[in-house]
Amino acid sequence: MLTALGRAFRTPDLRRKIFFTLGIIVLVRVGSFVPTPGVDYSAVQQCIAQAETGNSLLGLVNLFSGGALLQLSVFALGIMPYITASIIIQLLTVVIPKFEELKKEGQQGTSKLTQYTRYLTIALAILQSTTYVSIARDPARLFQTDCTAQVIPDQSVQTLALMVLTMTAGTGLIMWLGELVTERGVGNGMSLLIFTQIAAGFPTSLWAIAQENGWMTFAGVILVGLVVVAAVVAVEQSQRRVPVQYAKRMVGRRMYGGSSTYIPLKVNMAGVIPIIFASSLLYLPALLAQFNDPNAGWVQWINVHLARGDHPIYMAAYFLMIIFFAFFYVAITFNPDEVAENMRKYGGFIPGVRAGRPTAEYLDYILTRITLPGSIYLGLISLLPLIALVAFNANANFPFGGTSILIIVGVGLETVKQIESQLQQRNYEGFLR
């Protein structure tokens, strides 16, 4: 492992890519602590010391921004608008025929969809930054605490407009830096930036656990973390390989086909999308309750049962919604009929299954069976931070659970595979022998 790592740094081209990626990561982390113009940094720090973001959508966005959201920095929104835009464009490819045609056009169509994603990212950044700045005018709503410090002393229209413009520009800059890493660095730039922002909060969370609950609890958390990481790696790498055989056919004087391959169906095909959907939807009732009479019965019920992540009703709703969205997202992104039709066109078939409709039904049957344990796995992983919150009053962004660990492990595995492939191209040996 260390020999392969040393060989990676001795290869000029690969070393240049690694250092370029590390430089971009450092730049993004520095930008996460640069305050937006018009923000009182000392007041922000005072409110952060009392903040309780919980497991709300605000906590999720703060996690993806590496803590920059509550810092009200120039990179406060982080990469979240881009993630949202990508999900929306991906879902629209199923709904809008024009987008579906672009997806089938190959590289040119993909470039066009990427351009639409960029435009939508900027539009969402303007919307989110405007909402965020309006919430930040009342620190009690933003930090969910009794903080009375004025984080925005000058609340004139010019100052608020400058804050919105700065945060939107920060999102555009992060998007551009992520694309630069993809082109000139190692791995997927957007994924690596998310990885960095999430991993940046690990030391703080672990140190807080050690200080508040003692070193024995800290050791127990580390042990649980190792088990969770091993389980996540095992599940993320697990797949059901459906064998596919291609019949031989004559084209002119040449014989084509006759090969055997497989369709890899991952146990967790939905990734972290169900967790994001469930968190966003569960945040809506609490958001609506903030704009209504706090003495109303339904508002009090929401504040007690759905506004706190440690309540059993919240946990049950969160778990069931993740299972639902896992099936929903897989059904949208994987079309068994389309796969079966493509196989039939090129003379492919699954041994023992007739081509056409029976193949589509067979794939749908397999997909349903592997999505069930995959969705339950997602639900259990996402509940770990909430269980930790109840067990030893840990931060809701518990480092070894939920969205954070799924992204950390997934991006880490993908980046290592890319470095591995580049090492094998040059030295015929990678990290694994």
For the segment 412-427, what is each residue's pLDDT rounded down to a tens digit? 888 887 777 777 776 6
* For residue 381, pLDDT beyond 60: yes
pLDDT the model gives residue 126: 92
Q: Could you give the dihedral angle defined by the CA atoms of residues 169, 170, 171 and 177, in that order, rounded to the nearest 10 degrees?
A: 110
pLDDT the model gives residue 54: 47
Average pLDDT over the chain, rounded to an integer: 79
Q: What are phi and psi of 18, to 5 degrees?
A: -65, -45
* For residue 257, pLDDT beyond 70: no
Question: Rounded to two decimals, what is the model's pTM?
Answer: 0.75
Q: Are 209 and 218 in contact (CB under 8 A)?
A: yes
Q: Are 227 and 401 in contact (CB under 8 A)?
A: no
* For residue 138, pLDDT beyond 80: no
What domains can you pick out in the chain, each with its CATH number? 1-200+429-433 (1.10.3370.10), 202-400 (1.10.3370.10)
Q: What are phi and psi of 5, to 5 degrees?
A: -65, -40
What average pLDDT does the segment 171-186 reach? 89
pLDDT the model gives residue 166: 92
pLDDT in tens, 321-358: 889 989 988 888 888 888 888 888 877 888 888 888 88
Q: Are 289 and 307 in contact (CB under 8 A)?
A: yes
Q: How confident is the model at residue 55 (pLDDT cuts 50, 70, 90)?
A: very low
Q: How confident is the model at residue 394 (pLDDT cuts 50, 70, 90)?
A: low
3-state secondary structure the chain: CHHHHHHHHHCHHHHHHHHHHHHHHHHHHHHCCCECCCCCHHHHHHHHCCCCCCCCHHHHHHHHCCCHHHHCECCCCCCHHHHHHHHHHHHHHHHCHHHHHHHHCCHHHHHHHHHHHHHHHHHHHHHHHHHHHHHHCCHHHHHCCCCCCCCCCCCCHHHHHHHHHHHHHHHHHHHHHHHHHHHHCCCCHHHHHHHHHHHCCHHHHHHHHHHHHCHHHHHHHHHHHHHHHHHHHHHHHCEEEEEEEECCEEECCEEECCCEEEEEEECCCCCCHHHHHHHHHHHHHHHHHHCCCCCCHHHHHHHHHCCCCCCHHHHHHHHHHHHHHHHHHHHHHCCHHHHHHHHHHCCEECCCCCCCHHHHHHHHHHHHHHHHHHHHHHHHHHHHHHHHHHHHCCCCCCCCCHHHHHHHHHHHHHHHHHHHHHHHHHHCCCCCC
* For residue 185, pLDDT beyond 80: yes
pLDDT in tens, 262-280: 888 888 888 878 887 887 7
pLDDT the model gives residue 172: 92
Rounded to a whole number of angstroms, the distance between the first and last alpha carbons of the chain is: 9
d(CA 240, CA 256): 27
- Calculate Rg over the CA atoms of the chain: 24
